[in-house]
Amino acid sequence: MRLTTPTTVTVKAVGREKLELPKHLFVLAVLAIELLPFYMMLQISFKNNVMFNANPWLPILPGATLVENFRFAYHLILPYAANTIFVSVTAATANLFFAILAAYFFARYKMPFSNVLWSAFLTLMLIPSVTNIVPLFTLLKKLNLLNSLWGLIAVAVASGQVFNIFVLRNFIEDLPRDLFEAAEMDGAGHWKQIIHIVIPLSGPIIGTLFILSFLGCWNDFLMPLIILRDPQLFTLGVGLIYLDGDYAKDWGHIMAAFFMASLPLLIMFLFTMKLFIRGLSAGALKG
Amino acid sequence: MKRETIFQFIGFGLVAIGYLASTFFVLQRKTANLEKPNQITLRIAHWQLEQGLHHAFDELAAEFTRQHPDIRVEQLLVPERIFPNWLVTQLIGGTAPDLIEVGYGIDDERLARYFVPLSLWVERPNPYNRGTTLEKIPWRDTFLDGMYSSYSSTLQDYYSAGLNMHTVRLYYNRGLYEKIMGLGAPAPKNFREFEAVFRKLADYNRTRVNKVVAIAGSDYNGPLLLDQFLSNQTQKLLLRLNDLLDFTVSKPDTQLAYLAGRWNFTSPEVRSGLELQHEVGRNLPPGFQSLRREDATFYFLQERALMIVSGSWDVRTLKAQAPFPIDIVSIPLPTPENPEYGKYVLGAFAENNDVATRFGITRLSKHPKAALAFLQFMTSQRGNQMFVDTSYWLPSIIGVTIPEPIRAFQPITEGYTQGLAFNSFGADGRLVINQNLYQLYSDHEPVSTFTRSLEEDLRPAVRRDLLQEIKTRRHAIAHDDTTLAALQWKQYRGKTSSETLRKISATRLNQDLMECGAYTLETSLDSIQK
Amino acid sequence: MAAFIPTKKALHEWRLYLFVIPSLVLIAVFAYFPAISAVYHSFFDWQGGNYKEFIGWDNFIQAWTDDVLWQSFGTVFILIVANLFKMIPSIAVAVVIHRLVSDRWQYWYRVLVVVPMIVPELVRLFIWKFFYDPTFGLLNKILDWIELKPILVSLDTYVLHWNVFREGFPIPWLSEPHLIVPSLIFWGFPWIGAVGVLIFLAGLESIGREVYETAELDGANGFQKFLYIEFPLILTQIRLMLILMVIGTIQGYGLQLLLLGQDGGAGGAGMVPGLWMFNRAFSAGQFGYACAIGMVLFVFILVLTLINNKYIRIQR
């Protein structure tokens, strides 16, 4: 399987435009509903409760309320966002680093015990993570990882291993063997082969897996809710739950905070959208 | 293609920059926290997210640090909804803060296991009362309730000390009320006038697009109001259950009486209470059981509800955020004179002066002495006055003056006993009731449907709760064994003091009482089974 | 294919094992150890502390007679069936996007499909919760606006007898036991999963334009084209998403926890096995019993996976 951009596969046909309009309408309608939460979040963050009550639907011109809402959101979200970025990026990077090493091992060599080890990974797919949560909690307690960002990172790295190794192994196996053999002829060691062959050739897939791991971490709220105690350690997940727990709600504040919480992802996707789409579209996760 | 690569580089570059900044932020915070090596940090956790409350705690903390520069106090505010889960996680995880608000998610078993008993200190004066009228008075007797609320009758010990009292009142939107009832209309004084408000409001709504709900409701504010009606109608019933005529019918007593068939949900008193709950409950927004406390507050503040029932704890939030004048009155419950509902009623309740916002010291605390000091500081006359002045909450300590804005909440101390409530049941029993409670507010034969739905599941649930109660007491006995062993080992080593002897005999007495209670419960349960 | 290294040579190449050891250690500590510990502790009366008491099969006997647990399995089964249907919009959108002639539009629609991913899941969850609000929520306002409410009211009066849709009263979506499961099912409408759509599109990629033209010459309509051309090609992807969905649904409880609370909402109607396990552990403090519930869940997932492996094989 090779990565290709959509343009090279399909052959253009002409003269069918009249059938196109309903398709466009369908996709647009579905996407419009899908994007509704985003729209609501954005427009409510411009308002305070009184304005929202008078006019819940339509956007209004930005005013002093907007500034007020976003000032609140900025102060609230910034530390949470910093924690979340720290945890998510560290976890995703470590996750992929270890996964690439292991995938390289499994894809390139058939060592004694490698079958046993491979089944050790595959069996893990059968064990539901939800059954582990209670003992995992006591384990973290013994390891002194409760109320610590490292605890979150450790769990996230471990839980992402199987999936990433699985996908990467398939991918590396499909890389042309000649490349590796040529490199070996030149006296390149395993590290060199990984750095010069595996990583460049599987760039999009690694990028895609990175984004998926990152998103998994970013969106998680159950583990942080259980692990973290101190407010200064909170990730966005817990922080937003705490915000939702206030007794008197100011929807403008809340939506502005939600928007701020989305901002890092917005920026990241803005720049890596193509890579992500290409990685997934190329059938990376065929299974 | 080229542009795309540049884009990706910028993207990952931004991620890298964000990451570096975040890492710097995370790591520098760690060192910043260790800046003062000689200072210890006390952590105090509570769920009081009401406006102004954390300022009150901050003030107390600042004043305390001024007196003890080596101690810093940090607040952990946890939303009520996740507090029980949060608490169990922290207790079992060993990361529990030093002082924790007791009451929500803590049963006797957890108290016994995770909290420090305070009996040693309650009989000595609170050192922070030095120079006041309470200087020589034991800590226990400086509380308005004599620390009654802090005492666990099952565990025979004091596990907490509280900051304030609470009473529940009816808040109403004065402007809207006058629009509906006429200018200068007085507040409803009894149940009939209360009903009249509902009728007038229905007329008012007929001509309006945006309907006004009579009473803002939620899973929280609803029961605050409605439970009182059940309690009101069962006053006489509860007296009947009080065999010893000592005016205390404990929760296990009520549950045993239920199992023994001495009362049930079809008893006329309970039925009348449930009917009232249904009648009044219809004036809350439909589905109020799934609305949250903050939704109810929002309804009221947005003038979509005429009234809201809440405690003195909400005065600050409501008065600060409402763009309209608010009046506060007692909930108009039916009195004995009421022709329809007066039959089972004794009269207005004496409001129990239970002390709330009680904090316990966890056994996991690394600085129990400092924690005790802060607790005593908060419950000293000066500390409590400080707290009350900022929070507008009712004080818990003798000699503290009530601030002007909450005079309407001053507890009524003279009156009759309260009756039954849903929370007379244990955890499982309450779960069964809560899961079926929605039927009480349906349109079709609400009361009978509700009581029928309880028939099958409630009895086994109550039995389970009582068995759990027995287990809890036995656990407490086993727990005391450890204490006893430690004390006797001390005595054996020849370090006998009168204090040790007193503790040994008190602990033994405690165990006997526990055993007694557990045994009585067990035999009663057995006899009911037959 | 992987290079075969016999045992003799392996001793020489032992360094290769170092590549797999970090991952192995990680999963051994954070996945296998907890799993084994869960099996072990399911036989104990354990409240999370140091004290525990062996009680044999008692936890499992309790689970067997636990009505809440079995009801929660019923609920999760309904949700799985519903999620099966909720996969259709993703497939439909993928197919329609693929059928577009213009590559440019195809690309831009992919981008638009991905855009909702920038909203953190939790934010989506809270916004949807806000939509369901009886008085302020979007859903009730839309129902009033398109005048669907009277239809629901008469449906309730004559067919359902749930007594939840009433004229003049906002519909309490998340507080009526009858409505909780429907609300959970409707949650996330129109159920487009960005990852799903992109993966389906990847599967469709291999269909050339000429295949469609041949089909059109044979007079195939839109649905026939789907059935005979597109569906077989994305079958692998559909199976993959199916497995992920089933496992995700049966384990999931975050949505229920935040939307309905730890008791599963009114009447416990939204209780799912994962939430019940969470509730028993972190609310009741019965860690041993929670582990036993986890074991029951594990057996269910294992059986489902075995069925899947036997009948719905994925070819790699």
Indicate the fold that domain B168-350 takes in CATH. D-Maltodextrin-Binding Protein; domain 2 (3.40.190)
Could you give the maximum distance between any two Cα atoms of chain C, in Å?
82
What pLDDT score was predicted for residue B407? 85
Q: What is the C-alpha separation between A262 and C306, in angstroms, rounded?
A: 39
Residue B361 structure tokens? 């010291």
Asked if the model's pLDDT at residue A13 lies above 50, the reply is no
d(CA C189, CA C2): 45
Looking at mean pLDDT, say which of A272-286, B99-113, B396-410, C230-244 comes out highest: B396-410
In chain C, % of residues over pLDDT 70: 91
- How far C203 CA lies from chain A's nearest CA (Å)? 7
- Could you say which DSSP state residue B416 is in? B
**Would the pLDDT of A28 be above 60?**
yes
CB neighbours of B221 closer than 8 A, spacing ≥ 6? B215, B288, B293, B296, B308, B309, B310
Dist CA C70 CA A232 (whole Å): 40
pLDDT tens digits, B228-261 = 999 999 988 888 887 766 667 788 888 989 998 8
Among B469, B172, B456, B210, which residue's Cα sits nearest to residue B328? Answer: B172
Tell me whether residues B291 and C268 touch, CB distance under 8 A: no
Predicted local distance difference test score (pLDDT) of residue B417: 83
* Per-residue DSSP letter, A194: I
Closest-CA residue of A relative to B9 is: A271
> What is the model's pLDDT at position A287?
43
Residue C147 lies in a domain: no
Choice among A4-13, A95-104, B278-287, B316-325 with the minimum mean pLDDT: A4-13
Q: What is the pLDDT, as a whole number, of residue A7?
A: 41
* Number of domains composing chain A: 1
Q: Which of B7, B82, B323 is closest, CB to CB, to A245?
A: B82
Identify the CA nearest to A158 among candidates A208, A217, A106, A229: A217
Most distant CA pair in chain A, distance: 75
First to last CA, chain C: 13
Inter-chain contact B298–A248, Cβ cutoff 8 Å? yes
Query: How far A64 CA lies from chain C's nearest CA (Å)?
Result: 24
- B92, amino acid identity: I
Pick the CATH number of B40-163+353-409 from 3.40.50.2300, 3.30.70.1520, 3.40.190.10, 3.90.1170.50: 3.40.190.10
Select the residue of B93, B297, B314 nearest A146 (Cβ to Cβ): B93
- Position C67 in a domain: yes
Q: Output the pLDDT for position B245.
A: 61
Residues C98 and C96: their CA atoms lie apart, in Å, by 5
High-pLDDT (> 90) share of chain B, %: 27
pLDDT of A94 above 90: yes
Q: Which residues of A touch C20 (CB under 8 A)?
A: 101-102, 105-106, 117
C-alpha angle C122-C124-C127 in degrees, rounded to nearest 5 = 110
Count, residues in chain B:
530
Helix (H/G/I), strand (E/B), else coil: B333: coil
Q: pLDDT at position B1, please?
A: 53
Burial class (CB in 10 A: 0-12, 13-18, 19+), A205: buried
Reading the block at residue B342, the tokens are 């007066």
Domain coordinates in residue numbering, chain B: 40-163+353-409, 168-350, 462-529
**Are residues C210 and A11, on separate chains, in Cβ contact within 8 Å?**
yes
How far is A115 from A30, CA to CA, in rounded Å?
Answer: 46
Q: Residue B127 pLDDT more than 70? A: yes
For chain B, say whether A245 makes contact (Cβ under 8 Å): yes
Mark yes or no for CB contact C170/B84 under 8 Å: no
∠ CA A241-C247-A97, rounded to 5°: 75
Residues of C in contact with B444 (CB under 8 A): 163
In the block, tokens 């789409």 appear at: A277
Q: With CA atoms as reference, report the closest residue to C91 among C249, C269, C223.
A: C223
φ, ψ dihedrals at A126, nearest 5°: -80, -25
CA distance A8 to C148: 47
Inform me whether the pLDDT recorded for B104 exceeds 90.
Answer: no
A149–B contact, CB cutoff 8 A? yes
Beta strands per DSSP E along chain C: 3-4, 44-46, 52-54
Res A15: pLDDT: 45
Asked if C97's CB is within 8 angstroms of A109's CB, the reply is no
Residues 56-115 on A with a CB inside 8 Å of C are 56, 98-99, 101-102, 104-112, 114
Distances (CA, A) of A120 to A123, C31, C34: 5, 11, 15
| Total number of domains in chain C | 1
A231 Cα to chain B: minimum distance (Å): 7
Contact A280/A272 with Cβ under 8 angstroms? no
Residue A146 pLDDT: 87
Q: Whole-angstrom Cα distance, residue A225 to residue A122? A: 29
Helix (H, G, I), strand (E, B) or coil at C87: coil
Residue range of the domain that includes A238: 83-246+263-281
Other beta carbons less than 10 A from residue B9's beta carbon: 11
Question: In chain B, what percentage of residues exceed pLDDT 70?
Answer: 95
pLDDT, tens only, C191-222? 888 888 888 888 887 777 778 788 878 877 77
The pLDDT of residue A3 is above 50:
no
Half-sphere exposure of A186 (CA within 13 A, CB side): 10
How many Å apart are CA C230 and CA A53, to the nearest integer?
Answer: 48
Q: What is the radius of gyration, based on Cα positions, of chain C?
A: 25
Q: Give the mean pLDDT of A122-127.
A: 74
**Cβ of C96 under 8 Å from any chain A Cβ?**
yes
CATH number at residue A118: 1.10.3720.10
Record: contact A245-B80, CB cut-off 8 A:
yes
pLDDT at C172 over 80: no
Listed by number, the residues of chain C in 188-227 with a beta carbon closer than 8 Å to a beta carbon of chain A are 189-190, 192, 195, 198-199, 201-203, 205-206, 208-210, 212-213
Cβ distance of B95 and A207 shorter than 8 Å: no
d(CA C26, CA A173): 24
Q: Can you give the residue range of the structural domain that contains C215?
A: 63-134+172-311
d(Cα B70, Cα B74) in Å, to the nearest integer? Answer: 13
The HSE-up count of residue A32 (CA atoms within 13 Å, CB side) is 6
The strand pair at B305-311 and B168-173 is best described as antiparallel
d(CA A221, CA A223): 6
Distance from CA of C219 to the nearest CA of A (A): 15
Asked whether the beta carbons of A118 and A244 are under 8 A apart, the reply is no
pLDDT at C235: 83
- A285–C199: do the CB atoms touch at under 8 Å? yes
- Residue B33 is predicted with a pLDDT of 59
Which helix (H) or strand (E) covers residue B72, if one does?
strand B71-77
Tell me the residues of chain C between 17 and 46 that have a Cβ less than 8 Å away from chain A.
17, 19-20, 22-24, 26-27, 29-35, 37-38, 41
The pLDDT of residue C243 is 82
Give the pLDDT mean for A45-65.
80
B391 contacts B203 by C-beta, under 8 angstroms: no
Residue A274 covered by a domain: yes
Average pLDDT of chain B to the nearest whole number: 85
Position A100 confidence tier, pLDDT thresholds 50, 70, 90: very high
Q: Do the Cβ atoms of A139 and C120 come within 8 Å?
A: no
Q: How far is C305 from chain A, CA to nearest CA, in Å?
A: 7
Q: Which residue has the tokens 């849903």?
A: B422
Average pLDDT over residues B189-200: 91
Rounded to 5°, angle at Cα A225 from A96 and A149: 45
Chain B residues whose beta carbon lies within 8 Å of the beta carbon of residue C172? 286-287, 290
Joined together, the tokens standing for residue C315 give 């070819």
Cα→Cα distances A180→A97, A193, C110, Å: 20, 7, 35
Q: Which chains touch A (3 or more CB pairs under 8 A)?
A: B, C
Report d(CA C233, CA B121) in Å as an integer.
77
Alpha carbon of B243 to those of B253, B254, B422, B520: distances in Å? Answer: 10, 11, 21, 15
d(CA C187, CA C210): 39
Tokens describing residue C248: 């995700």
Instruction: Tell me which of B435, B468, B482 to substitute to probe the interface with C (most C C-beta atoms closer than 10 Å).
Output: B435
Q: Which residue has the higher pLDDT, B153 or C221?
A: C221
Residue B44: its H or E element:
strand B40-46
Q: What is the pLDDT of residues B82-98, one digit of tens each?
A: 888 888 888 888 888 99
The pLDDT of B492-516, averaged and rounded, is 78
| pLDDT value, residue A282 | 64
pLDDT at B32 over 60: no
Q: How far apart are CA B459 and CA B257, in angstroms?
A: 11
Query: What would the two tokens of residue B147 be?
Result: 């620390």
What pLDDT does B141 receive? 92
Q: Which residues pair with B75 in a beta bridge?
A: B44
B105 interfaces chain C, CB cutoff of 8 Å: yes
**Residue from C60, C123, C129, C305 to probe the interface with A (highest A Cβ count within 10 Å):** C123
In C, which residues are within 8 Å of B437 by CB distance? 266
Cα B106 from Cα B87, distance rounded (Å)? 8
Put simply, the answer to whether A155 touches C199 (Cβ < 8 Å) is no
Give the CATH number for residue C272: 1.10.3720.10
How far is it, in rounded angstroms, from Cα C256 to Cα C265? 8
Contact B378, B163 (CB under 8 A): yes
Chain A CB contacts of C240 under 8 Å are 285-287
Confidence at residue B495, expressed as pLDDT on a 0 to 100 scale: 66
Flag if A249 and B80 touch (Cβ within 8 Å). no
Question: What number is the average pLDDT over the span A207-224?
Answer: 88
A275 vs B132 pLDDT, higher one: B132
Q: Assess whether pLDDT exceeds 60 at residue A1.
A: no
- Residue A181: predicted pLDDT: 83
Residues, chain A, total? 287
pLDDT at A8 over 60: no
Non-local (6+) Cβ contacts of C18 within 8 A are none
C112 phi/psi in degrees, rounded to 5:
-65, -35
pLDDT score for A5: 41
Confidence label for C311 from pLDDT (cuts 50, 70 and 90): low
Which of the four pLDDT bands, split at 50, 70 and 90, describes residue A238? confident
**According to the model, what pLDDT value does residue B361 have?**
94
- The 10s digit of each residue's pLDDT in B430-464 is 878 877 887 888 777 889 988 988 888 899 999 98
Residue C187 domain-assigned (yes or no): yes
Residue B172: pLDDT band (50, 70, 90) is: very high
CB contact under 8 A, C135 and B285: yes
Q: Please indicate, yes or no, if residue C233 is contained in any of the structural domains.
A: yes
Q: Which residue has the higher pLDDT, A117 or C157?
A: A117
The alpha carbons of chain A give a radius of gyration, in whole angstroms, of: 23
pLDDT (0 to 100) of residue B31: 58
C44-71 residue pLDDT tens: 988 877 778 899 899 999 999 888 899 9
Q: Which amino acid is at B422?
A: F
Question: Which of A40, A83, A84, A134 best probes binding to C when mutated, by most C CB atoms within 10 angstroms?
Answer: A134
Q: Has residue B215 got a pLDDT over 50?
A: yes
What's the gap in Å between the CA of C299 and the closest CA on chain B?
27
Q: Which stretch of DSSP H or E encloses residue C59?
A: helix C58-64
**Which letter does DSSP use for residue B143 in this model?**
B
* Stretch (H or E) spanning B77: strand B71-77
CA torsion angle for A265, A270, A274, A276 (degrees, to 10)? 0
Give yes or no for residue B474 having a pLDDT over 80.
yes
Q: Is A209 on the interface with B (CB under 8 A)?
A: no
